[in-house]
Amino acid sequence: MKTDVVVIGGGVTGTAIARELARYHLNIILLEKEDDVAMGASKANSGIIHAGYNADQTTLKGQLNIEANPMFDQLCRKLNVPFQRIGSLVVGFDQADLKVLIQEEIKGQQAGIKNLKILAREQLRAMEPNLNQQARFALYAPSAGIISSYEFTISLANSAVLNGVKVLLETEVNGLMIEAGKIRGVETNRGKIAATIVINAAGLYSDKIAQQAGDQIKITPRKGEYHLLDKNWGDLVNHVIFPIPTKHSKGILVTPTVHGNLLIGPNSSLSTARENLAVSSTGLKEVYDGAKKLLPGLSRKDVIASFSGLRATAEGDDFIIGPSANCVGLINVAGIQSPGLTSAPAIAKSVTDLVKDTLSRINPGLTLTYRDDFIEELPKKLIFTEYLAQNDLEKWQEIIDDHPEYGEIICRCEKISKGEIISAINDPVPAQSIDAVKRRTRTGAGRCQGGFCEPRLLAIMSEELGLSPLAITKKGAGSAILKARTKDWLREQKNYTGGGEQQ
Ligand SMILES: Cc1cc2nc3c(=O)[nH]c(=O)nc-3n(C[C@H](O)[C@H](O)[C@H](O)COP(=O)(O)OP(=O)(O)OC[C@H]3O[C@@H](n4cnc5c(N)ncnc54)[C@H](O)[C@@H]3O)c2cc1C
């Protein structure tokens, strides 16, 4: 296979880059080692679109955060991704905290962020009545927002595919093809792909890829753990609430999610393993205690899920975006820790400029031209809860009359119909596992966490994909839900006499 550009990694960085590059006459292939996009940090984070006052403007992450924040309203409208600009509050309790808040406000104003404001106790209480009554000040940043990071990433990928990008899932890059200091392509578990440009957006593994070209990048994983609370807690706060930041993170925050849950976390601890997403009781206690300082009324009884994400921190604590020092045609996009989700649209633009530069160096005289058929907007999906929220049930009935599968509710907690599930299975980047359907539709994301709907979802997937139920997985290879047909299993047991002998 031969292509112009290979993008390694289907996180928010890789998918945003692939979509942006698809505006030009280029053949693009995106490679993702897992069975879906958004399987790394882009699946498990706070989902905050940061205002940007917090990040140092001499760093790339500071600059790209500020550039990208205003892009989200329009981009999310085009991609049909829920995004709410609810604003954030950094809460202070004493004079020392106030000093920090004033410094942040000045830093933000110097960076050009508008409408930052220090609030006094009464204003704060009016905006957040459930906040700790001891809170005395807050820095208010109205431009901060919330998003579902995996829905955003999946939509970027779907849009890229709609515009001609090939997304190859379960395709792991395990080597770079380099000749005479130039990239020639990548070696994967499914064979070689020749390419003129390779973009390394491999998240936690971006150092491993870069090191193959001799680039000295080192990534250290830093874990952040979370509790997600049921929807009856979603209106406990109206804004993203941060404590005073620590050296390594913005601290344990409390935020409503775009789907009406309450999210608390993350803590921050060094991790040695890049695949270890286990949560710990000590870590989760730290998260709960931290959030409780901000909201004393919080209770753990309605926690419906606990999870963790791994930050890909690079030495120097900044994004590393640029051409490889040793290999023409390789572009590293590494160390994309927070605010990487916020910065993704700006990172994509900056990498597109690097691709243009690199191509013109490889082939002087070559200029990239725009495609005039780029499709900006993703087709709108039929979502029952949207019609329900607008009380437009007559219209939904018309949809059911034409497509009866939209009349069968499969997930009762989140009110997801069979039609929505079938549509997700047939996405441009198709949902191939139970979790992939969950990320696209919210089937199993509610209070029962799939306890009731998962068997029905499994049956629908089996039917729609034409696969045995035994082949349906939770999240790709090695995670089959069913072990054997009961009859076969019983037959095996009867024949089993112990000691490995068959009768
Ligand atoms: C706890 C936590 C909280 C955060 N909160 C926020 C926040 O509120 N706001 C914000 O702006 N940012 C936040 N971030 C940062 C943000 O989540 C990341 O910056 C962003 O998701 C990084 O995206 P990425 O695409 O670079 O990496 P990833 O999402 O990790 O994607 C990399 C992809 O590459 C794939 N891959 C790796 N190696 C290979 C290979 N060899 N071949 C093929 N594929 C490969 C992986 O499977 C993965 O899918 C947070 C991060 C964490 C961990």
Span 280-334, pLDDT tens digits: 999 999 999 999 999 999 998 899 999 999 999 999 999 999 999 999 999 999 9
Give yes or no: residues 112 and 252 share one domain: yes
> Are β-strands 28-31 and 219-229 bridged in parallel, bridged antiparallel, or unpaired?
unpaired
Q: Residue 167 pairs with which residues in a beta bridge?
A: 30
How remote is the CA of residue 117 from the centroid of ligand 1, in Å?
A: 31
How remote is the CA of residue 381 from the centroid of ligand 1, in Å?
A: 26
> Are β-strands 219-229 and 303-314 bridged in parallel, bridged antiparallel, or unpaired?
antiparallel
How far is the C-alpha of 501 from the C-alpha of 499, rounded, in Å? 6
> Are β-strands 409-411 and 330-334 bridged in parallel, bridged antiparallel, or unpaired?
unpaired
- The total of other beta-carbon atoms located within 10 Å of residue 122's CB is 8
Instruction: Write out pLDDT tens, residues 166-218.
Output: 999 999 999 999 999 999 999 999 999 999 999 999 999 999 999 999 999 99
Q: Of 69, 341, 343, which is best to mutate to test ligand 1, by the most ligand atoms within 8 angstroms of its C-beta?
A: 341
Q: Residue 255 pairs with which residues in a beta bridge?
A: 263
- The total of other beta-carbon atoms located within 10 Å of residue 395's CB is 10
How remote is the CA of residue 205 from the centroid of ligand 1, in Å?
A: 10
> Within its chain, how far is the Cα of 394 from the centroid?
35
Residue type, 361: R
Instruction: Write out pLDDT tens, residues 396-430.
Output: 999 999 999 999 999 999 999 999 999 999 999 99
Task: Determine what percent of the chain falls in helix, strand and coil, rounding each to the nearest 5.
Answer: 35, 25, 40
User: Which pLDDT does position 430 carry in this prediction?
Assistant: 98
- Which among 50, 239, 248, 259 is annotated as catalytic? 50
Query: What is the residue range of 262's domain?
Result: 83-146+220-311
284: which 2 tokens?
Answer: 């989760």
Q: Shortest CA distance to 49 belongs to which of 174, 134, 141, 168?
A: 141
CATH of the domain at 401: 1.10.10.1100
User: Which pLDDT does position 263 carry in this prediction?
Assistant: 98
Which atom belonging to ligand 1 lies closest to the Cα atom of 46? 8
Instruction: Assign 3-class secondary structure to 428-453.
Output: CCCCCCHHHHHHHHCCCCCCCCCCCC
Question: Residue with the nearest Cα to atom 35 of ligand 1?
Answer: 9
Instruction: Write out pLDDT tens, residues 459-487.
Output: 999 999 999 999 999 999 999 999 898 88
Residue 467 φ then ψ, to 5°:
-115, 155
92: which 2 tokens?
Answer: 């202070």
**466 within a domain of the structure (yes/no):** yes
Which atom belonging to ligand 1 lies closest to the Cα atom of 222? 53
Q: What is the mean pLDDT of residues 65-77?
A: 98
- pLDDT over threshold 50, residue 502: no
Q: Where do runs of H (alpha helix) occur along 177-240? A: 206-212
How remote is the CA of residue 419 from the centroid of ligand 1, in Å?
A: 30
User: Which pLDDT does position 55 carry in this prediction?
Assistant: 78
| Residues in Cβ contact with 163 at an 8 Å cutoff, skipping those fewer than 6 apart | 19, 22, 23, 371, 374, 375
Radius of gyration from C-alpha coordinates of the chain? 24
User: Which pLDDT does position 496 carry in this prediction?
Assistant: 66
> Within its chain, how far is the Cα of 377 from the centroid?
20
Which atom belonging to ligand 1 lies closest to the Cα atom of 204? 30
Which atom belonging to ligand 1 lies closest to the Cα atom of 43? 29
100: which 2 tokens?
Answer: 């920090």
Instruction: Write out pLDDT tens, residues 232-259.
Output: 999 999 999 999 987 767 899 999 999 9
Residue type, 416: I
Got the DSSP string for 293-315? HH-TT--GGGEEEEEEEEEEEET
E strand spans, 143-261: 145-147, 166-168, 173-179, 182-188, 191-200, 219-229, 240-242, 253-256
**501 within a domain of the structure (yes/no):** no
Question: Residue with the nearest Cα to atom 4 of ligand 1?
Answer: 45
* Residues flanking ligand 1, CB < 6 Å: 8-14, 31-34, 39-42, 45-48, 50, 172-173, 201-205, 224, 266, 309-311, 336-342
Give yes or no: residues 247 and 270 share one domain: yes
Nearest 10 degrees: CA dihedral of 252, 254, 255, 259? 100
Q: Of 225, 338, 347, which is best to mutate to test ligand 1, by the most ligand atoms within 8 angstroms of its C-beta?
A: 338
245: which 2 tokens?
Answer: 């930041």
**239 within a domain of the structure (yes/no):** yes
Give yes or no: residues 305 and 228 share one domain: yes
Q: How many residues does the chain have?
A: 503
- pLDDT over threshold 60, residue 503: no
Which atom belonging to ligand 1 lies closest to the Cα atom of 224? 1
Angle at 102 between CA 99 and CA 108, to 5 degrees: 145
Which atom belonging to ligand 1 lies closest to the Cα atom of 48? 8
> Are β-strands 330-334 and 191-200 bridged in parallel, bridged antiparallel, or unpaired?
parallel
Give yes or no: residues 187 and 247 share one domain: no
**500 within a domain of the structure (yes/no):** no
Give yes or no: residues 58 and 165 share one domain: yes
Residue 231 φ then ψ, to 5°:
-65, -20
How remote is the CA of residue 322 from the centroid of ligand 1, in Å?
A: 18
How remote is the CA of residue 208 from the centroid of ligand 1, in Å?
A: 15
**16 within a domain of the structure (yes/no):** yes
Instruction: Write out pLDDT tens, residues 31-68.
Output: 999 999 999 999 999 999 999 998 788 999 999 999 99
Give yes or no: residues 260 and 403 share one domain: no
User: Which pLDDT does position 488 carry in this prediction?
Assistant: 86
Which atom belonging to ligand 1 lies closest to the Cα atom of 172? 42
Give yes or no: residues 141 and 256 share one domain: yes
Give yes or no: residues 271 and 408 share one domain: no
How far is the C-alpha of 17 from the C-alpha of 10, rounded, in Å? 10
Q: Which of 265, 292, 311 is the last residue of a domain?
A: 311
Q: Residue 333 pairs with which residues in a beta bridge?
A: 321
- Provide the CB-side half-sphere exposure for 148 (13 A, CA): 20
Give yes or no: residues 5 and 48 share one domain: yes
Question: Residue with the nearest Cα to atom 2 of ligand 1?
Answer: 45
Q: What percent of the chain has pLDDT over 70?
A: 98
How remote is the CA of residue 102 from the centroid of ligand 1, in Å?
A: 31
Give yes or no: residues 228 and 302 share one domain: yes
Give yes or no: residues 344 and 413 share one domain: no
**113 within a domain of the structure (yes/no):** yes
Tell me whether residue 239 is one of the annotated catalytic residues: no
42: which 2 tokens?
Answer: 């882009």
Tell me the three state secondary structure of residue 176.
strand
Q: Of 17, 336, 342, which is best to mutate to test ligand 1, by the most ligand atoms within 8 angstroms of its C-beta?
A: 336
CATH of the domain at 364: 3.50.50.60
261 close to 230: Cβ distance less than 8 angstroms: yes
Question: Residue with the nearest Cα to atom 33 of ligand 1?
Answer: 9
Q: Of 45, 72, 226, 270, which is best to mutate to test ligand 1, by the most ligand atoms within 8 angstroms of its C-beta?
A: 45
**How many domains does the chain divide into?**
3
In the 8-state DSSP scheme, what is residue 381? P
> Within its chain, how far is the Cα of 453 from the centroid?
24
Give yes or no: residues 7 and 155 share one domain: yes
- pLDDT over threshold 80, residue 111: yes
**497 within a domain of the structure (yes/no):** no
How remote is the CA of residue 390 from the centroid of ligand 1, in Å?
A: 35
How remote is the CA of residue 313 from the centroid of ligand 1, in Å?
A: 11
Residue type, 39: M
Question: Residue with the nearest Cα to atom 32 of ligand 1?
Answer: 203
Mean pLDDT over all residues of the chain? Answer: 95
Q: Of 20, 37, 42, which is best to mutate to test ligand 1, by the most ligand atoms within 8 angstroms of its C-beta?
A: 42
**Token pair 């609370």 in the structure block, residue:** 229
Q: Shortest CA distance to 308 belongs to which of 411, 232, 204, 434?
A: 204
> Within its chain, how far is the Cα of 489 from the centroid?
39
**358 within a domain of the structure (yes/no):** yes
Question: Residue with the nearest Cα to atom 31 of ligand 1?
Answer: 11
CATH of the domain at 137: 3.30.9.10
Q: Which of 284, 311, 338 is the last residue of a domain?
A: 311
User: Which pLDDT does position 137 carry in this prediction?
Assistant: 96
How far is the C-alpha of 462 from the C-alpha of 344, rounded, in Å? 35
Q: Which of 311, 330, 356 is the last residue of a domain?
A: 311
User: Which pLDDT does position 461 carry in this prediction?
Assistant: 97
